Amino acid sequence: MVLCVSTWPNFVLIWNRTEVCCFILGLPLRVNSRVDFPQPLSNNPPMPRPDAVRRVKSYSAADGYVYQYYFFEGNRAQRDGRPGGEFTYVISADRRSTFPFKIFVRQSALDAWAKQNGRSLTSSEEYAVAKMRLFQAFDEGSVQAPPEGQQAREVVVDESNLEDLLGKLGI
């Protein structure tokens, strides 16, 4: 059912509730609209969603290198069948190239600490432990780009170093 027909010199517009037809000089012109009012066609494609804004930080290591890094993501994961938290950072040692570096916080270490202290670590405290382990890896010089085609390197927080890392945080 046609709801409206408008004519101008050399231009006819016909629309109803579901589609719009437009004729210029007798030739059909496709109009991108599904409502009662025609939408102008855009010559600009929609922009892709931008990546999340990352706050790049610097760390001056004990060996004299200044590393730049930012937190990329945190996930629950398993290593050798053991659950834990996986924290991924993106690192740059030369300000030209970046590489991922992972810290795996074993759940068994967190559970042992919780049993000993009567409370579990919060997610913020677990993140802080992972970040302190990252700083320790910077100071040890063990943060290096993986060889081409290999997975990201990682260090582990377990029962042997959790208490020391929490001590640095005052927890």
**pLDDT (tens digit per residue) in 114-136:** 999 999 999 999 999 999 999 99
| Residues constituting the chain | 171
Distance (Å, whole) CA 103 – CA 89? 8
Residue 83 identity: P
Residue matched to tokens 């009567």: 118
Output the pTM of the full model: 0.69
Provide mean pLDDT across the span 64-90.
93
The CA distances from residue 77 to 74, 85, 91, 98, 105, in Å, are: 9, 6, 21, 23, 10
Q: Which amino acid is at 66?
A: V
More confident residue, 49 or 165: 165
Torsions phi, psi for 50 (to 5 deg): -70, 155
